[in-house]
């Protein structure tokens, strides 16, 4: 069942989450989630479409080509993610959501960008949660996002009405609401990272988190404030994972869509930073991306783009 | 030589000022000062006072917006007839070559009879600009119609916006400096530290020897107290060069090979070359050093590392040599711009590689071998320095002089440029 809501305000959701986090620290007022079940219902909102102004701010952030209305009108996948992100947040900040919003870590994102979504094209965003499962450091969950045609009926969804499909995987560290079933294979097969030949170097200023926040509306304190980031166990404000995704994809996504991509996040990028980046052509249809800390030879993220 | 049914474009001579390491002798000279002085020297050398030339083309890679008409303004500062038109060219480090090559074509086609091509660059007087944010706010204030709108715009200024911005030295699409790009290419081609240091040493020795035998007497005019390129180290040795730590590609660890000595220093300077038709040269009783035969621009897809940033000349040369039915064995002298010693070595390895020539250049065999004793015989950028846009003029004038008196002997030029571009050219002695 999909509950229709108005487009949520991210700032209000973060305020509420901060309040929840503060309350959780007070003895006797602990609002530990009473549930280990994910909400069964999904949320759906209408979005009027991305304005030219927002799209242009996005492309300036990544020094991309202009949305000139003739050769570039289709939104990049990460900008579509930005449309749906407040709805993800709304779902995760509900009382019946088993993991606290504050301190969630973005582990991975997988996207199928089925059809182009153009500037000012009204769409609907349908969000649901699934796969609550144990992680060696806590509990992880998949938030499924579908961007639908404006005329689609979310209650009886037809395949052709889906424009964009994404799964964001988040980790709640130190929270164990589900039993670990089997030891995670990833642990035993962890290998030393051998960096590929770099093809670019990203110099990220201390304000990169604020710059992405200004475009996306995601003012999560962990990205915009060193103090808040330190309180959450980071050395400094860290860059949004989707900034890395956006930069990795910029200029490489087909205007006609029909592509799939994914990104897996390893060590967070503490700002300011220099990220070494490699784009490698696996074949004509597939690119592999790697981002790492060149000084410590530490992996920040790995990604993939498949055309068609 | 040329198969085209056009007249010859003759290289008459050249002039440059000595090249100076950034922030040294020319620290207070701007691009226009240096270009005007260089043109003045050329005018004086060939008695062009009061003459109306066909066109003057030059450019600078690092250019102030106030110098929007740099070449024309420089021409107006010389004794040339003010009716001489001029235009600015910019193709990064290949600016000078593009200026000269395009002028040679105009002469060949009979559109003009005489021309000056060249370039200038200053690192010491590079344009410093405000941040994009501050410029945006100032422009918004400028567009405001009322005082309150203007104040509202200006109130957005934050301290961080006020930091001056020096021109970027990195490739905009990769964020890597040219040296970092070259380090990747050098590593891929397995170019050793020893080869690079030897090439750097040869550059200094050849340049010093050329100065000592007076080769540059009619190619260089002193400027601001300098009479020789102040980057030149005639007394350098392989031991000295071998002691330097790597400056680029440090993340390659033990495999890092590029140092400050086998990479060109940032430099200030200017150069100019006088071109004309045969008739024009004869009518003015001017020397005819060489013919400008052909030139070719090239570009490579470097952004995701499909090809090395500075490898475009490898591709341009293949097309140009094929068009002229030549191989590298046909050249008496080769001038390969030493952006880095490894740039020269990587291009040579590519041309000599059967695999590269077949797979990347689409040829049947390699482009021939390159006789190192014919390479950069009067020194190149590692010793002289490389004021970006001025390098083409330096090379064309020196090579033309070297080929003078050797009719029919050919010279090859390769200049790589930022943005994955490059130019190659052929000139012929007469």
Q: Which tens digit of pLDDT belongs to each residue from B37-48?
A: 999 999 999 999
In this prediction, residue A29 carries a pLDDT of 45
- Average pLDDT of chain A is 90
A82-96, A171-185, B104-118: the lowest-pLDDT one: A171-185
* pLDDT one-digit tens code per residue, A33-72: 557 789 999 999 999 999 999 999 999 999 999 998 888 9
Q: Say how far apart CA A290 and CA A292 lie, in whole Å.
A: 7
In this predicted model, which residue has the larger pLDDT, A27 or B260? B260
What is the reported pLDDT for A244?
Answer: 98
Q: What is the three-state SS of B133-150?
A: HHHHHHHHHHHCCCHHHH
A104 versus B348: the higher-pLDDT residue is B348
Q: Is the pLDDT of residue A176 over 90?
A: no
Note the pLDDT tens digit of each residue in B260-316: 999 999 999 999 999 999 999 999 999 999 999 999 999 999 999 999 999 999 999
Inspect the interface and report whether the beta carbons of B175 and A201 lie closer than 8 Å.
yes
Interchain CB distance below 8 Å, B175 and A200: yes
Which comes out higher in pLDDT, residue B401 or A232?
A: B401
Going by pLDDT thresholds of 50, 70 and 90, the confidence category of residue A12 is confident
User: In this predicted structure, which of A156-160, A204-208, B239-243, B338-342 has the lowest mean pLDDT?
Assistant: A156-160
pLDDT digits (tens, 9 = 90+) for A97-155: 999 888 788 999 999 999 999 999 999 999 999 999 999 989 999 999 999 999 999 98
Checking if the pLDDT of B152 tops 50, the result is yes
Dist. CA A35–CA A46, nearest whole Å: 29
Question: Which residues of B are part of the catalytic machinery?
Answer: 93, 386, 416
Interface of B with A (CB under 8 A): 160, 170, 172-176, 180, 184, 187-188, 251, 303-306
Residues 245-264 of chain A whose Cβ lies under 8 A from any Cβ of chain B: 251
CB contacts < 8 Å between A and B, how many?
40
Q: Percentage of chain B surpassing pLDDT 90?
A: 89
Q: What pLDDT does B111 receive?
A: 97
Biggest distance spanned by C-alpha atoms of chain A = 60
Looking at residue A231, what is its pLDDT?
87
**What b/e string do you get for A264-277 counting C-beta neighbours within 10 Å, with b at 16 or more?**
ebbebbbbebebbb
Percent of chain B with pLDDT over 70: 99
pLDDT at residue A30, rounded to an integer: 42
Average pLDDT, chain B: 95
Contact B174 A279 (CB under 8 A): no
* pLDDT exceeds cutoff 70 at B176: yes
pLDDT of B75 over the 50 cut:
yes
| CA distance between the termini of chain B | 11
Instruction: Please give the pLDDT value at position B414.
Output: 98
Helix (H, G, I), strand (E, B) or coil at A18: helix
Q: How distant is the Cα of B184 from the closest Cα of chain A, in angstroms?
A: 8
| Interatomic CA distance for residues B287 and B77, integer angstroms | 25
Distance CA B3, CA A302 (A): 54
Give mean pLDDT, residues B23-30: 94
User: What was the ipTM of the complex prediction?
Assistant: 0.85
Q: Give the pairing type, strands B55-58 and B114-121.
A: parallel
């Amino acid at each position: 069942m999909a509950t229709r809501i108005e487009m949520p305000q991210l700032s209000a959701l973060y305020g509420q989450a901060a309040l929840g986090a503060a309350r959780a620290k007070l003895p006797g007022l602990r609002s530990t989630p009473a549930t280990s079940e994910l909400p069964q219902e999904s949320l759906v909102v209408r979005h009027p479409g991305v304005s030219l102004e927002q799209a242009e701010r996005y492309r300036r952030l990544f020094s991309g080509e202009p949305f000139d209305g003739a050769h570039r009108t289709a939104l990049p996948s990460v900008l579509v993610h930005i449309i749906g992100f407040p709805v993800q947040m709304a779902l995760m900040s509900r009382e019946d959501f088993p993991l606290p919003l504050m301190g969630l870590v973005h582990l991975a994102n997988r996207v199928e960008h089925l059809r182009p979504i153009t500037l000012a094209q009204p769409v609907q965003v349908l969000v649901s949660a699934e796969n609550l499962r144990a992680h060696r450091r806590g509990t992880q969950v998949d938030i499924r996002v579908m961007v639908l045609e404006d005329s689609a009926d979310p209650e009886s969804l037809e395949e052709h009405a889906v424009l964009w499909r994404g799964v964001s995987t988040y980790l709640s560290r130190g929270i164990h609401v589900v039993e670990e079933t089997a030891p995670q294979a990833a642990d035993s097969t962890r290998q030393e990272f051998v960096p590929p030949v770099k093809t670019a170097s990203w110099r990220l200023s201390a304000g990169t988190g604020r710059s992405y926040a200004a475009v996306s509306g995601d003012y999560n304190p962990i990205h915009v404030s060193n103090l808040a980031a330190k309180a959450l166990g980071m050395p400094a404000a860290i860059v949004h994972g989707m900034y890395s995704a956006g930069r990795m994809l910029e200029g490489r996504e087909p205007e006609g869509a029909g592509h799939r991509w994914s990104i897996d996040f390893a060590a967070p990028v503490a700002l300011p930073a220099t990220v070494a980046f490699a784009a490698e052509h696996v074949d004509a249809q597939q690119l592999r991306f790697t981002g790492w800390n060149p000084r410590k030879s530490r992996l920040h993220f790995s990604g993939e783009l498949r055309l068609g | 030589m040329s198969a085209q049914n056009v007249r010859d474009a003759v290289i008459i001579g050249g002039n440059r000022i000595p090249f100076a390491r950034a922030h040294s002798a020319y620290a207070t000279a701007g691009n226009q000062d240096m270009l005007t002085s260089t043109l003045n020297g050329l005018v004086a050398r060939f008695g062009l006072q009061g003459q109306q030339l066909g066109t003057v083309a030059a450019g600078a890679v690092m250019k102030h917006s106030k110098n929007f008409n740099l070449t024309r303004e420089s021409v107006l500062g010389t004794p040339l007839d003010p009716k001489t038109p001029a235009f600015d060219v910019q193709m990064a480090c290949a600016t000078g070559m593009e200026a000269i090559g395009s002028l040679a074509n105009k002469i060949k086609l009979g559109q003009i009879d005489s021309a000056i091509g060249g370039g200038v660059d200053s690192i010491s007087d590079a344009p410093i600009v405000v941040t994009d944010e501050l410029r945006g706010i100032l422009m918004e204030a400028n567009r405001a119609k009322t005082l309150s709108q203007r104040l509202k715009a200006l109130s957005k200024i934050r301290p961080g916006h006020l930091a001056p911005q020096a021109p970027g030295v990195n490739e905009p699409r990769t964020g890597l400096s040219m040296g970092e790009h070259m380090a990747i290419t050098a590593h891929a081609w397995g170019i050793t530290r020893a080869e690079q240091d030897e090439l750097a040493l040869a550059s200094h020795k050849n340049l010093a020897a050329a100065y000592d035998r007076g080769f540059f007497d009619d190619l260089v005019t002193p400027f601001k107290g300098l009479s020789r390129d102040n980057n030149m180290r005639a007394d350098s040795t392989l031991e000295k060069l071998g002691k330097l730590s790597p400056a680029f590609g440090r993340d390659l660890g033990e495999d890092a090979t590029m140092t400050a000595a086998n990479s060109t220093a940032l430099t200030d300077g200017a150069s100019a070359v006088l071109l004309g038709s045969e008739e024009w040269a004869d009518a003015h009783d001017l020397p005819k050093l060489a013919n400008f035969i052909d030139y070719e621009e090239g570009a490579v897809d470097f952004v995701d590392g499909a090809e090395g940033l500075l490898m475009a000349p490898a591709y341009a040369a293949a097309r140009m040599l094929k068009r002229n039915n030549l191989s590298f064995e046909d050249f008496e002298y080769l001038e390969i711009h030493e952006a880095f010693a490894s740039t020269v070595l990587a291009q040579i390895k590519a041309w000599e590689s059967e695999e590269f020539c077949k797979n990347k250049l689409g040829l049947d065999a390699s482009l021939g071998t390159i006789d190192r004793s014919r390479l950069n015989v009067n020194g190149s950028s590692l010793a002289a320095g490389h004021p970006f846009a001025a390098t083409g003029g330096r090379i064309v004038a020196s090579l033309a002089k070297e080929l003078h008196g050797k009719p029919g002997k050919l010279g090859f030029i390769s200049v790589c440029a930022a943005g994955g571009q490059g130019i190659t050219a052929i000139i012929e002695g007469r």
